[in-house]
Structure 1
């Protein structure tokens, strides 16, 4: 990691010392769940803002990314409210990224996702689809922020532990990426929790059988040299740029 990167990450609070158990889980399982990251007031503000954006933007909800049948997605949250800055620049998430990447990284995207009743299923996948001649180099780290309680009944994500240690993609080795996997774990947790995972780990959304609300945020980080999911320079508004610190601009790669 360059001296400049270290300076900016220090300014963002990413020098936070992670518990050994958390680092071990990230290294061996590929994921960890941290509860009580978001307090009640912050949660309520995010819920209100998501619902306001859905009401306001209509068909343009995910013009910067893509929409998904049976699911509401809100893309480009970086430019859609100050409340999200505490998410994408959260010291705990950045410290975990620093540990996993072991090098420079940047924001790839920040989106919201809510599976509707009886919808939300995804095939098992890894978020990085390209060949990995540089395996085990990490290209992506994802974070899922639980805005509502996540349960198996309302579509909590599933993940296959330790598959970040495999070079193959699930579609290359599994007969059925839509079916149950013997090692799958459901990421059940209360609202206010954050799941951080090496995004080479196989995972997927699941069906919201109960119909209870299950709003989440996906904060995706990417290796400094790779192409982000959303071009932050393209979408960055003057209003957002005007309030960012130099370290935040570095993290977005818009400096």
Structure 2
């Protein structure tokens, strides 16, 4: 693993870029993607959410790009100017227009919301009936397939994010994985082996083993991202990703050249 394509900085919900870069270099990486959260949407609920959470990279990306450029000579790792965009099918036109304008090194797409509620919100989904929770997992994978079909992104982040929520965990089926894998096989978008839950869930990565099997059956490779928000999580997450790559005999897809 040479590059970590997915970390966050103070331009969304992470730590200072320089701290993240120095930790990546200490972990033996040669490239680091600063991929802060960003939402572009005409929906009032999304606009309120991004203002509350500070996911306003559409307003600050030029300032962050200048910071990245200034830091390049001070750190021993190549910095990539990237973005993690929240994806909703209804917002495709707005997302495409913004990505064309901003011209990032690459873009990561992610499905975070169901019923306009972040998947991480445990209590909201825990109150749902099992049949409703299964229907929501269906909806999640429908959005994931639409993300792949959209061709808007180089990377699809944590492609089974529903596994992060105990109320939704284990409800994804082989059919879900098959449909998503088939969509990625026809798309330029590469799913991500993501370590965002590795340190809290006993080394578990996204996507789950069954999903990885389905991707392999369709000849779909994976790229890699620690999804780190703090410098001290980069090295242990790199170790978890490298262990999984070695176990499966995988060479990660390189989004950026050396």
Same fold (TM over 0.5): no
TM-score band, normalised by shorter chain? under 0.3
**Higher RCO (Cα < 8 Å, 6 or more apart):** 1
Q: TM-score, normalised by structure 2?
A: 0.25
Larger helix proportion of the pair: 2
